[in-house]
Structure 1
Amino acid sequence: MNVSLFPDVVVNGETIPSAAIAAEAQNHTAPKDKPGIAWRKAAQALAIRTLLLQEARKRDLDADPEELAPGRFETEDEALIRALLDEALTTAPITEEAVRAEWARDPNRYRSAPLWDVSHILCACDPRDEQERLAAEARAVALLARLDGDAKGFAAAARTSDCGSKASGGHLGQLGPNDTVPEFEAALRTLAEGGMTAAPVLSRRGWHLIRLNATAPGQVLPYDTVRPKITLALEKAAWARASRDFIETLAERAQISGTNLAPI
């Protein structure tokens, strides 16, 4: 990306280095043919960050970095922004009426996790090894062609699987969300009960042929069970709105050139 094509970003007389914007742009998505969108998103994010840091220093706040994970701490700037938002933002307590109204909009949104009864055939390989991957794929495709949608023959074909489940006809038992690798679960979620993947599915373990034997959809959870989850979601939404309003207030008072804070 040619950074010279973009104007300097200046917030209340403070210039944000183009190198900083270019580095930040790596964290923002954009169409491959429109890299300027990532640049504008990065410039906007850093302009907001600069506004917040300027306000925190104006208020003479102290940074006290917190430990985010074992051995990983906030930066001074992150701690300063947190201190500012803690001081500046106020939100009204979430009422019982608001929580119940949110739940009543559609109780079906709050369900227990589904269960899937699954069988599979694994043609193992290291996906990073092209020759090994292609050989395993060819084997999986041949198995799939031989099955031709025949569910009854699946257990017999699974005897050639590279998974220990071959001893039980490829049966993996009942699985829930996050019980398998992401690629496997993503394919599983597309299947109808009794269905089988139309093509082999590649995961870090190799190529899978997957059959969904049966499914048990999650049950609608009672209000008292989901109340804490709904309350937390409403609190986060209220905080996000207060944060946006606060940033808009700072931006209205600020002199900003080279970018704007309108949604991209």
Structure 2
Amino acid sequence: MIQVNQTQISEQAILAEMQYHPADSQRAAMLKAAESLVIAELLRQRAQQLGMEVATNQSSTGEHDYLEQLIEREVPIPTASRQECEHYYQQNPQRFTSSPLLEVQHILLAAAPDDDQERVHAKALAEELLQQLQQGHAFAELARKYSACPSNQTGGSLGQISKGQTVPEFERQLFAAEAGLLPSPVESRYGLHVVFIQQKIAGQTLPFAAVEQKIADYLNEKVRRKAIAQYIHTLVVQAEIDGYDFNLSDSPLMQ
């Protein structure tokens, strides 16, 4: 049983709330549900004190409605200035750079992730193909003969690719490499790849004007979250809460 300023939150209400808080264990789900109900009750009580129309049932589903109204009435939230946006832009250039472009050819030697024997065979063939390429054999010819990718019809060409266009384990190794024939096969969930990077075009820094609104939205949301955290912290500190050890750092609304 939990009590929030003389209002009780029943075990039944907590059990009903648990369906909205999936977790690794029943106890963790119960703690999340209890915390959410405590916050919802604090917001409901504060809304009632201010003469707002409030629901009588114990549920967290209306907490965000109360929160929006309470923040609007009680918490001034500043917005980011152009100067603050420019400062953030200058301090985080890596966030505002377009993806590099790679022009790539590959030979896919298909092998299932869980077939160790097939993988060993594919790796041996990949290393053999690398030797042939280093000796001057045409990449396109070998791709047409050995590759299991539909790109074999175009000599293994994948065209120009940017980040996010291929599977992560393949992408990580490609974008970390320099132009030319990669000295070792690249593994992915599909098998082993022999890769030739024909061209690597570095990403370009986006102009401030193109990202100013995005930066402003990010900074404003950051300030808003902090304001919400401080507001709920104030309600918790001022309240009498029995039966629940309120850990502010774990609350989704306190992030």
TM-score for both structures, normalised by structure 1: 0.69
1:163 aligned residue (140, 149, 156): 149
Q: Do residues 241 (structure 1) and 226 (structure 2) align?
A: yes
* Structure 1 residue 62 displacement after superposition: 6.1
2:84 to 89, 95, 98: 98
Q: Distance in 2 between matches of 1:62 and 1:175?
A: 54
Q: 1:23 to 1:235 in 2, by over 3 A?
A: closer
- Could you tell me which of 244, 251, 264 is aligned with 2:236? 251
Following the alignment from structure 1 to structure 2, what is the Cα–Cα distance between the partners of residues 166 and 250?
64
Specify the alignment match of 2:119 in structure 1.
Answer: 137
Q: Distance in 2 between matches of 1:145 and 1:112?
A: 34
Contact kept, 8 Å, 1:114 with 1:218, in 2: the verdict is yes
For the residues of structure 2 that align with 1:19 and 1:202, how far apart are their CA atoms? 44
Match of 1:114 among 95, 100, 114: 100
For the residues of structure 1 that align with 2:171 and 2:186, how far apart are their CA atoms? 13
Q: How big is the shift at 1:229?
A: 1.0
Equivalent residue number for residue 41 of structure 2? 54
Q: What one-letter code is carried by the residue in structure 2 that aligns with 1:231?
A: A
Q: Deviations over 1:42-98 (max 9, x none)?
A: 5664344113321343325568xxxxxxxxxxxx844x1221221122411222222
CA separation of 1:180 and 1:161: change in aligned 2, threshold 3 A: same
TM-score (norm 2): 0.71
The residue aligned with 1:232 is: 217
**Percent sequence identity over aligned pairs:** 24
Distance 1:223 1:168, change over 3 A: same
Matched residue count: 227
Q: Which has the higher helix share?
A: 2
Distance 1:21 1:194, change over 3 A: farther
Residue 18 of structure 1 and its aligned partner are, at CA, apart by 7.1
2:23 aligns with one of 21, 26, 31: 26
Please give the alpha-carbon distance, in whole angstroms, between the structure 1 residues aligned to 2:66 and 2:196.
Answer: 51
* Paired residues of 1:191 and 1:212 also in contact (CA < 8 A): no
Aligned to 1:4: none
Give the conservation status (yes or no) of the 8 Å contact 1:140–1:200.
no
> Structure 1: which amino acid aligns with 2:161?
L
Distance 1:22 1:256, change over 3 A: farther
Structure 2 unmatched ranges of 5 or more: 251-255
Structure 1: stretches of 5+ with no match in the other structure: 1-7, 28-34, 64-75
Report the 3-state secondary structure (helix = DSSP H, G, I; strand = E; otherwise coil) of the residue aligned with 1:189.
Answer: helix
Residue 240 of structure 1: CA displacement? 1.2
Task: Answer yes or no: is 1:14 the counterpart of 2:9.
Answer: yes
- Which residue in the other structure is 2:208 paired with? 223
